[in-house]
Structure 1
Amino acid sequence: MTDTTLAVPLAGGDGHRTRAAGATVEFRALRRAFGATVALDGLDLTVRPGELLALLGPSGCGKTTALRMLAGFEHPDSGLVLVDGEDVTGVPAHRRDTGMVFQSYSLFPHLNALDNVAFGLRMRKVGAAERRARAAELLELVGLPDHGSRYPHQLSGGQQQRIALARALALRPRVLLLDEPLSALDAKVRLTLREEIRRLQQELGITTLFVTHDQEEALSMADRVAVMRGGRLEQCATPAELYARPATAFVAEFVGTMSRIPGRVVDGGTVEVLGRRLPVDGEAPAVAGGEVDVLVRPEAVRLSHDPAGRARVVATAFLGAVTRVTVTLPGGTPVKADLPTESAAALPPGSAVAVDLPDRPVLVAPRAA
């Protein structure tokens, strides 16, 4: 297999950081079952060179199984895994040129940070001077140049994760795999490392797969997000497209906040909701009586004070410049609206309000039971 140049040169280089070429990764009709449980059910997905693609979905959707198949830790019942067009489905993990960062860090407690980073190089018989020099350069790259002599128990969770990242990059992998690497960290550290990982990935130009169940993490870091459900791919798109034009009701509700407002399909292209008719985004589902739910983002909901209004404000949540206002419609359906905080101050709990939607296509789904 060919080697790719990362931002870290070999010892004795000129110190210039060179952008990696980035590999193309393809999953073709991957299927994997564990007994009666189907983890992957015909997954087809392509990761572009130099792209950071997030695999997003609830627990048990198959995202970690897909990552482990690319790493070589799991093997499909059928289907192929290709890297730059080369079939690596049957290639052992240690020959795949992938670097993996785990949720649990998996650092060796008896080795200091420098030796942890250099461990893979030692296994590949790289000379002592060269591997220590490369490990030192990687520690600098992840912002820990003075932490080489410290042991894992002397490092914070965020520092341990940086060491794990440096260790994965030491072998100059064609593909970097991140398995929920930030989930064990507190919110502030998670945000900092999120930005740092993205910066390093862009600087190195390395193709990266990032597994997470955190939608904010996926949307803020990834070039594209692949949303999975039940071992299948629901949609793969840029964060903006995924949020604005979800392909399915599942994607719409899993990515961001959605309210379900009762509506009725008038014809194949129009739905009646909140006393008005709006065009349907896509094809309306065929349901008995035409009863559907209209899926609406909170920023699209319009509220106005109206003494005769049949909706009531039941709660407000301050989010800074925006306040999330929850109202109930007649019949008890909750609807969330994001309003400028100054405007929301005029609508305290108990206020009677009118609810309206903008005149644009809406996504509809079968009525929830």
Structure 2
Amino acid sequence: MTTDPAPATTVAAVPSPAGPTDSSAAATSTAPVTDKASGATVQFVGLRRTFGATTALDGLDLTVNPGELVALLGPSGCGKTTALRMLAGFEMPDSGQVLVDGEDVTRIPAHRRDAGMVFQSYSLFPHLNARDNVAFGLKMRKTGKAERHRRADELLELVGLPTHGDRYPHQLSGGQQQRIALARALALRPRVLLLDEPLSALDAKVRENLREEIRRLQQDLGITTLFVTHDQEEALSMADRVAVMHAGRLEQCDTPAELYARPTTAFVAEFVGTMNRIDGVLAEDGKTVELLGQRLPVDGATELRGEVQVLTRPENVRVTAGGGQGAIVTGTTFLGSSTRLAIQLPDGTSVKADLSTHDAAALPAGTAVTLSLPDRPVLVDTRR
């Protein structure tokens, strides 16, 4: 493993938790900040990190392709932020490597990595106006005042705040402050952009608008981006791929559509979106499962046998009035164009089913119904 410092590289124009970036750096590029960047390939190879008895990362392997936005998604304590901090250089692994374009940067200090980072808390300097906050990293590079102001103004235009350069953080809304933080992270044209739950402190409407803006900028600039979030909607709507983590391990990394439609583990199935568990009996060959009076193929090989639970999403549950199944609608939740029915099976199992609001209107609470699933492979798990 290479541990010697690499030749001087672009410094992240973002103050880290440890303080401002080091001023020693390569000569400042004069290329326009709006030029499409050449995104880097990022690789985590066998990363392990423990904090006392807690294992934060347990052999993480993940590759992020040039210009790709990958969301690290998972519950608190799953290791997603630890992985991001290792790429930023704020955390060192117990073992494993962090590679950027094939170069081992595991032991290279944070200020010598070609990365920009945006934090949840904005981290703007309160005594600097927006223009000077954006230009802070350029000032540390000893870029001339006129040039850094020109580039800062260009970035303010890029993030939609061209008239806000003279305002101080306390004069800006939360969404505006986060746009300034994003502009500052982009000021030195990093090959890698790191976003640590940057939208979680914002209200819903601002969060929705800003995530669209971040995605547009990321695609326009071609910057390889890692986005840490616990919000499924953010991850699924913004990312090229979503890496679902659990207990320090990578459960599945796939496109949002693939992740939602074809989860490979029970954890992913239940963590991403809403999932029903319905009792079934697995055939001796493990290839089919019987439930709700149907026999369905099993998705993938399984070592399970006998009684299992089938995992299926509410939109896959078909509901018809009447029948001898003994299922009863116990409640409805209006969701706009769709309505979610709560249905109780005779054994007490509660099943959610999403129907068009028009169809659901004919199935009020108390209606006896029959449930079925589409004739396609289903995911099975051990009974709880």
TM-score, scaled relative to structure 2: 0.91
Letter in 2 for 1:336: K
Q: Distance in 1 between matches of 2:267 and 2:339?
A: 25
Correspondence for 2:4: none
Q: Report the alpha carbon displacement of residue 309 of structure 1 after superposing the two structures with TM.
A: 4.3
Query: Is 1:366 matched up with 2:382?
Result: yes
Correspondence for 2:302: 284
Q: Distance in 2 between matches of 1:125 and 1:37?
A: 43
Give runs of aligned pairs for residues 25-40 of structure 1, distance below 5 A: 25-40=42-57
Q: Report the alpha carbon displacement of residue 11 of structure 1 after superposing the two structures with TM.
A: 9.7
Q: Distance in 1 between matches of 2:74 and 2:233?
A: 12
Q: Distance in 1 between matches of 2:275 and 2:148?
A: 51
Change (3 A) 1:305 1:270: same
Q: Distance in 1 between matches of 2:90 and 2:34?
A: 31
Letter in 2 for 1:183: S
Query: Is 1:124 matched up with 2:141?
Result: yes
Correspondence for 1:335: 351
CA contact (8 A) 1:119 1:167 kept: yes
Q: Distance in 1 between matches of 2:33 and 2:71?
A: 29
Give runs of aligned pairs for residues 131-280 of structure 1, distance below 5 A: 131-267=148-284, 268-280=286-298
Question: Number of paired residues?
Answer: 360
Ranges in structure 2 where 5+ consecutive residues have no aligned partner: 1-7, 12-27
CA contact (8 A) 1:285 1:366 kept: no
Query: Is 1:299 matched up with 2:345?
Result: no
Q: Deviations over 1:160-199 (max 9, x none)?
A: 0000000000011110000000011110000000100000
Correspondence for 1:7: none
Correspondence for 2:19: none
Q: Distance in 1 between matches of 2:249 and 2:343?
A: 35
Give runs of aligned pairs for residues 10-159 of structure 1, distance below 5 A: 17-159=34-176
Q: Report the alpha carbon displacement of residue 127 of structure 1 after superposing the two structures with TM.
A: 1.2
SS of the equivalent of 2:76 reads coil
Q: Distance in 2 between matches of 1:2 and 1:70?
A: 15
Q: Deviations over 1:217-244 (max 9, x none)?
A: 1000000000000000000000011011
CA contact (8 A) 2:329 2:367 kept: yes
Q: Deviations over 1:2-52 (max 9, x none)?
A: 669xxxxx9987x69431111000000000001111100000000000000
Q: Distance in 2 between matches of 1:11 and 1:49?
A: 21
CA contact (8 A) 1:70 1:81 kept: yes
CA contact (8 A) 2:33 2:189 kept: no
Q: Report the alpha carbon displacement of residue 276 of structure 1 after superposing the two structures with TM.
A: 1.3
Correspondence for 2:341: 325
CA contact (8 A) 2:36 2:220 kept: yes
CA contact (8 A) 1:264 1:273 kept: yes
CA contact (8 A) 2:116 2:190 kept: yes
Q: Distance in 1 between matches of 2:325 and 2:299?
A: 28
Q: Report the alpha carbon displacement of residue 285 of structure 1 after superposing the two structures with TM.
A: 3.7
SS of the equivalent of 1:251 reads helix
Identity, % of aligned pairs?
A: 75
CA contact (8 A) 1:11 1:130 kept: no
Letter in 2 for 1:65: T
Q: Report the alpha carbon displacement of residue 120 of structure 1 after superposing the two structures with TM.
A: 1.0
Q: Report the alpha carbon displacement of residue 249 of structure 1 after superposing the two structures with TM.
A: 0.3
Letter in 1 for 2:213: E
TM-score, scaled relative to structure 1: 0.95
Q: Distance in 2 between matches of 1:131 and 1:174?
A: 19
CA contact (8 A) 1:26 1:83 kept: yes
Q: Distance in 2 between matches of 1:189 and 1:48?
A: 29
Q: Distance in 2 between matches of 1:254 and 1:125?
A: 47
SS of the equivalent of 1:199 reads helix
Q: Distance in 2 between matches of 1:285 and 1:261?
A: 19
Instruction: Determine which of 369, 376, 382 is the counterpart of 1:353.
Output: 369
Correspondence for 2:331: 315
SS of the equivalent of 1:132 reads helix
Change (3 A) 1:109 1:3: closer
CA contact (8 A) 2:89 2:108 kept: yes
Letter in 1 for 2:288: T
CA contact (8 A) 1:285 1:365 kept: no
Q: Deviations over 1:232-291 (max 9, x none)?
A: 00000000110111010000000111000001101310101111111000123425xx11
Coordinate RMSD, CA, aligned: 1.6
SS of the equivalent of 1:94 reads helix
Q: Distance in 2 between matches of 1:334 and 1:206?
A: 45
Q: Distance in 2 between matches of 1:16 and 1:252?
A: 41
CA contact (8 A) 1:72 1:96 kept: yes
